[in-house]
Structure 1
């Protein structure tokens, strides 16, 4: 009887946590470059002697969807989006991390930032001198024109662009993408960017709502199992008591 209770309890907990994952995805449906979190459940044996036939479900929400979001033209010279697979490198709170967000801004000293984090180039954070125009090439090359609009475009640095399989990536506590093994990803020269564009979130509101409704039904089933287990326990006690 208690094996059924373990199953129902574990299933209900997994449904509740799964709803939290999808609720977070929905909350970021309009966040540029956001990558949806994926919830994966695995079986885990209950620890302790005599619990060999009792298993719990363990939720893992550290996988991300690599599906590309919709690209929209902005015309802004500092907006960039990645075409296909790949990520921008940024200096996160705990070290190098990766993002698909490309809404670049310049701070007071000319350092390129994304959402308050320094954007990394091949030589570290990219710092631009005074200029009249900025141009970001398809390969990530950052060029500027000297003040006054005179002279040719001069290359200052190149965005650090990386690429990895979805199974090799996860998110850290800051919500930034990092390598699952904790290592720094190498530069990938095949990654291409599109200037004057931004990539939207890859969250599908319809898919997230359907998943949430499915988890709600699953939770209701687990509650019915709890009730069934309680009824059977009561009936068993009645039989034993004569």
Structure 2
């Protein structure tokens, strides 16, 4: 009797974590460069006391094994802001933070008080020499070519560093659309950067709402089964003890 409840509870716990992932996707539907995620599940078999027998079986639990990130490119939106950059195709901008190098698809940049190119959190955007990109006070006409070369009215300033990885799923969320990883980045030789545009989130709100509704229905179905199992157990205990129902 307890095994049924344990299996059902394992499914409910997995559904709760899945709902958290969907809710996070919905919350970041308008976050530039955000990539949607979904849970990965597998069957987890636990031997029973009778497993050593010829007809022994195993209990099948639900186990969430990780999160799969959708790395597909989000829609590009025109902003006409000269410091907004979008990467078309593979690649990440390299950002230097206080905790080390981080990587991001969000190219919503700005210039700080010192003339340094930074992201929305104020962290420096790296060039291909792993140095911050700094503009002179009199430089106002900023242009970025497709290969990432940054120029002004005074000439070439630097080249944006765009990197890629052997397995994008190894990147871990570091907050604020930043990723961290122990993998060695590989420089993209021919990036495709578009100035005056940003990459929107690739979250599809309608799809996420459908998933949320499905998760809720599944959770309610499991709860109904638990309630039915509890009622059956109580009736069995009353029958075995000879007690009359209250």
Q: Which TM-score tier does this pair reach, normalised by the shorter chain?
A: 0.7 to 0.9
**Equivalent residue, structure 2, for 1:12:** 12
**Equivalent residue, structure 1, for 2:55:** none
- TM-score in terms of structure 1 length: 0.86
| C-alpha distance in structure 1 between counterparts of 2:110 and 2:84, whole Å | 9
- TM-score in terms of structure 2 length: 0.84
Q: Write out per-residue CA displacement over residues 81-117 of structure 1, whole angstroms, 9 at most, x where no aligned residue.
A: 0112221111234221111111110111111111222
Which secondary structure does the structure 1 equivalent of 2:126 belong to?
strand
**Equivalent residue, structure 2, for 1:77:** 82
> CA 1:171 to 1:43, structure 2 compared with 1: closer, same or farther past 3 Å?
farther
> CA 1:123 to 1:66, structure 2 compared with 1: closer, same or farther past 3 Å?
same
Which secondary structure does the structure 2 equivalent of 1:84 belong to?
coil
**Equivalent residue, structure 1, for 2:40:** 40
Report how far residue 214 of structure 1 moved.
0.6
Contact 2:85–2:197 (CA<8 Å) still a contact in 1? yes
**Equivalent residue, structure 1, for 2:185:** 185
Q: Write out per-residue CA displacement over residues 36-59 of structure 1, whole angstroms, 9 at most, x where no aligned residue.
A: 12222233456x995983454333
**Equivalent residue, structure 2, for 1:118:** 124
What's the RMSD between the two structures over aligned residues?
2.3
Which secondary structure does the structure 1 equivalent of 2:142 belong to?
strand
Which secondary structure does the structure 1 equivalent of 2:223 belong to?
helix
Unaligned runs of 5+ in 1: 147-153
Single out whichever of 101-110 and 162-171 deviates more from structure 2: 162-171
| C-alpha distance in structure 2 between counterparts of 1:212 and 1:51, whole Å | 39
Report how far residue 60 of structure 1 moved.
4.7
Single out whichever of 28-37 and 125-134 deviates more from structure 2: 125-134
> CA 1:62 to 1:170, structure 2 compared with 1: closer, same or farther past 3 Å?
farther
| C-alpha distance in structure 1 between counterparts of 2:144 and 2:67, whole Å | 32
Unaligned runs of 5+ in 2: 52-57
Matched length: 232
Which secondary structure does the structure 1 equivalent of 2:19 belong to?
helix
Report how far residue 236 of structure 1 moved.
2.7
**Equivalent residue, structure 1, for 2:54:** none
**Equivalent residue, structure 2, for 1:23:** 23
Bigger radius of gyration: 2
